[in-house]
Amino acid sequence: MIKIVKNVTIVPMTHEVTFWGAVAFEDGKIIMVSQGNQEADRFIEELNGDVEVIDGKGGILLPGFINLHNHVSMTLLRSYADDIPLMPWLTEKIWPVEDKMTPEHIYVGAKLGIAEMLLGGTTTFVDMYASEDMVAKAGVELGMRTVLGLAFLDQSFPYFEAFAEKLIEKYGKENGLVSLTMSPHAPYTCSPETLEKAVAFAKKHNLMVHTHLSETETEIKQIRERYDKTPVEYFRDLGLFDQKTIAAHCVYLEDSDMKIMRDYGVSVSHNPQSNMKLGSGIAPVKKMMDYGINVGLGTDGPSSNNDLDMWEEMRSASFLQKVVALDPTILPAYEILKMATVNGAKALNRDDLGTIAVGQTADFMIIDTSKPHFFPCHDVIANLVYCGKASDVDTVFVNGKMVVRSKELMGDNLSNIYNQVQCAINELEIAED
């Protein structure tokens, strides 16, 4: 059945102009975007009322956010290991617990994280973790558009190909909610021998690459000492950038690195809150953009952030670049909102996502603006970026299906998810580690 959302301010993201109007969609695709309600009313009349009308109640309708970098099942480790630098955080705290995780634990953690993201208006996320089949299961159950990252390090690569082949067989040819990337963990955990095999695998199956890159000064030093190259040069020379690539972090880049990334069409997931919390540094976002690099936004995992809130990422991304440059004009609100929507879609090679227009996939949210922090509203986009919160999200559609209604998750009961998570925590004995 055709559905129409009326009485909303539409933020199309095809241009900066916003307008009052209506959006109609059917079979997961937007079929009408009107300014004002007259066209929508005529549309309803022509259909003899055979349409579901949704009252937007004066809210704001905008594309769903695209979270380009995540480790969603790490919700189980939220607040477990805080205020520690990246390398000891990984080696002394995170990896020992992850070694004890079962696929069921990963499924439960993914459900919690996906619920959090949907309730905050994120409709697509790119993951990187183990047992990604369980992440896919959670995503399908809750209706989230899920991009799996088939992750590996040197020691796990011997098991990677057989597992990846199974997921490719299941999801690789579908045009549904689940898609795949190949995800080498990082330059410092993947040898040239492993990466050469991985590149051959990615080319064979036409997989995108999703990886960590140039995240810390320690990483830069390690790769220099091992290979006399920057991490970007290391990946380029091994052929990773021959596949469409999303590189997470990119905090420490030389000008020559940025030229390489531009020339190979590498997209970046900027994860400002994680970079701040781990003390990794501030990515040169404006400079990357000036070089012509596509930069989107991600949260990183909920153990290094510690939430999955793209609203906070937008504000942090904007404010960090302004204060580093001592220039308040850098990365204005519209450019930041593009990072969370349009640029994310570009990174995924999905030109049907990230905007509100006829023919686009119906992934969008409706914001409840009846809050003190939304008044007055001199500029809709500025209010969204600088005042908006995850708790303002009222309704969310993914692929034309309502997955959040009146701020409540449709696919499961939150109390049920919380109980499952607590059981997982008890089994892992995380509190005792």
Domain borders along the chain are 3-63+364-398, 65-347
| pLDDT given at position 231 | 99
Q: How many CB atoms lie within 10 A of CB 106?
A: 25
How many Å apart are CA 34 and CA 91, to the nearest integer?
54
Asked whether 316 and 86 are in contact (CB, 8 A), the reply is: no
Q: How many CB atoms lie within 10 A of CB 419?
A: 12
Residues comprising the chain, all counted: 433
| pLDDT given at position 432 | 45
| pLDDT given at position 406 | 98
Strand order in the sheet with 295-297: 65-70, 122-127, 145-152, 178-184, 208-213, 245-249, 267-270, 295-297
| pLDDT given at position 89 | 87
How many Å apart are CA 276 and CA 262, to the nearest integer?
25
How many Å apart are CA 7 and CA 366, to the nearest integer?
11
- In this prediction, residue 61 has a pLDDT band, given cuts at 50, 70 and 90, of very high
Report the greatest alpha carbon distance in the chain. 71
How many Å apart are CA 38 and CA 19, to the nearest integer?
14
Q: Would the CA dihedral through 367, 372, 376, 382 be positive or negative?
A: negative
- In this prediction, residue 85 has a pLDDT band, given cuts at 50, 70 and 90, of confident
| pLDDT given at position 47 | 85
**Topology given in CATH for the domain delimited by 65-347:** TIM Barrel (3.20.20)
> Tens digits of per-residue pLDDT, 197-236?
999 999 999 999 999 999 999 999 999 999 999 999 999 9
> φ, ψ for residue 369 (rounded to 5)?
-100, 10
* The amino acid at 35: Q
Where b means 16+ CB within 10 Å and e means fewer, 264-301 reads bebbbbbbbbbbebbebeebbbbebbebebbbbbbbbb
How far out from the chain centre does Cα 130 lie? 17
Give SS3 for 45: helix
Least confident of 35-44, 52-61, 232-241, 356-365: 35-44
Q: What residue spans of 265-401 are helical by DSSP H?
A: 272-277, 285-290, 310-325, 333-340, 342-347, 380-387
Residue 69 pLDDT > 70: yes
Residue 389 pLDDT > 60: yes
Q: How many CB atoms lie within 10 A of CB 221?
A: 12
The whole-chain average pLDDT of the chain stands at 96
Q: Would the CA dihedral through 86, 87, 93, 94 be positive or negative?
A: positive
How many Å apart are CA 120 and CA 123, to the nearest integer?
9
Q: Rounded mean pLDDT of 364-387?
A: 98
Q: How many CB atoms lie within 10 A of CB 394?
A: 21
Q: Rounded mean pLDDT of 241-266?
A: 99
How far out from the chain centre does Cα 30 lie? 22
Beta strand residue intervals within 214-306, DSSP E: 245-249, 267-270, 295-297
Of 362, 414, 371, 416, residue with least CA distance to 390: 371
Asked whether 260 and 278 are in contact (CB, 8 A), the reply is: no
| pLDDT given at position 173 | 65
> Tens digits of per-residue pLDDT, 107-121?
999 999 999 999 999
> φ, ψ for residue 175 (rounded to 5)?
-110, 50
Give domain 3-63+364-398's CATH superfamily.
Answer: Urease, subunit C, domain 1 (2.30.40.10)
Tokens of 170: 């299941």
Residue 146 pLDDT > 60: yes
| pLDDT given at position 174 | 58
- In this prediction, residue 303 has a pLDDT band, given cuts at 50, 70 and 90, of very high
How many Å apart are CA 306 and CA 294, to the nearest integer?
25
Tokens of 207: 């997989």
Give SS3 for 105: helix
> Tens digits of per-residue pLDDT, 341-360?
999 999 999 999 999 999 99
Rounded to two decimals, the pTM is 0.97
* Residues in CB range of 285: below 8 A, 6 or more apart: 270, 295, 317, 320, 321, 331
| pLDDT given at position 413 | 96
